[in-house]
Amino acid sequence: MEKIIELVNVKKAYRIGNIVTWGLRGVDLVVYRGDYISVMGPSGSGKSTLLNMIGLLDVPTEGKVFIDGIDTSKLSSKKLAYLRNRKIGFVFQQFNLISRFTVLENIELPLVVRGIPRRKRIPKVIEALKMAGGDESWLQKKPTQLSGGQQQRVAIARAIVGDPEILLADEPTGNLDRRSAKTVIETFTMLNKRGQTMIIVTHDPEVANCTSKIYLLRDGVIIGREEPDPDKCIIRTVK
């Protein structure tokens, strides 16, 4: 099996004045290509910090993060941004859509950053939106004209439009009703079956039980791993 993500003794400290708070206290983690992983833990356990390390949104205080064999500690800010744009897609709990942009404009943003011409962007946007369970009729609407579940599908489309190898989701069902949450997880499961490497941070056992591996995080440390129970997956439990 091929490693796509590796964290080696990753620690992250936050300093406010003379007070130091450790978000991560030494995390070792290997993710293989095609893995479908969930990370569970109480609030403040370091789940979002861990995702930020993997997603190259922040850098460790100590330790190393390897993405597809690349030691990211040796990369400049410009090269980190390039790697993040090409390799990683993000889905956030708050959707993080730009309200003044249309759905089309929100989804195409990663392609704009890559300098892809508009005539080539539009087909990719439509394909990504349909893959995320959305509808082409949404394209000219603003995010505020959509429901929470629809906005999350737009956010997923934006995350996958550039065909990233890794998809990271931070509490992607946290603001959704159960039916919308089920739809989101069905989409993630479909994407994983197509070969996407997935890491989901969640408080919800019914979401975690849809993945292949569950890691438990406490006080900035991975304390164990649980085997998921597919019968308790939200896809099966929500009618």
**What average pLDDT does the segment 188-207 reach?**
95
* Diameter over CA atoms, the chain: 53
What is the value of pTM for the model shown? Answer: 0.93
Side-chain-side CA neighbours of 226 within 13 Å: the count stands at 15
CATH homologous superfamily, domain 35-59+74-237: P-loop containing nucleotide triphosphate hydrolases (3.40.50.300)
Please give the pLDDT value at position 94: 85
Please give the pLDDT value at position 17: 87
Please give the pLDDT value at position 43: 87
Q: Kindly give, in sequence order, each residue whose CB lies less than 8 Å from that of residue 224, ignoring residues fewer than 6 positions away.
A: 215, 216
Backbone angles phi, psi at 150, to 5 degrees: -70, -40
Q: Kindly give, in sequence order, each residue whose CB lies less than 8 Å from that of residue 173, ignoring residues fewer than 6 positions away.
A: 152, 180, 181, 184, 185, 202, 204, 207, 234
pLDDT digits (tens, 9 = 90+) for 14-44: 988 889 999 999 999 999 999 999 999 998 8
| Packing angle of the helix pair 178-193, 118-131 (nearest 10 deg) | 120
> Cα separation of 228 and 178, whole Å?
19
Please give the pLDDT value at position 73: 93
Instruction: Assess whether pLDDT exceeds 90 at residue 101.
Output: yes
**What average pLDDT does the segment 101-112 reach?**
96
Query: Tokens representing 85?
Result: 């744009």
pLDDT-derived band at 103, boundaries 50, 70, 90: very high
Instruction: Assess whether pLDDT exceeds 90 at residue 93.
Output: no
Side-chain-side CA neighbours of 38 within 13 Å: the count stands at 25
Please give the pLDDT value at position 214: 98
**What average pLDDT does the segment 60-76 reach?**
95
**What average pLDDT does the segment 98-115 reach?**
95
Please give the pLDDT value at position 175: 86
182 and 234 Cβ atoms separated by less than 8 Å: yes
**What average pLDDT does the segment 89-110 reach?**
93
Please give the pLDDT value at position 1: 83
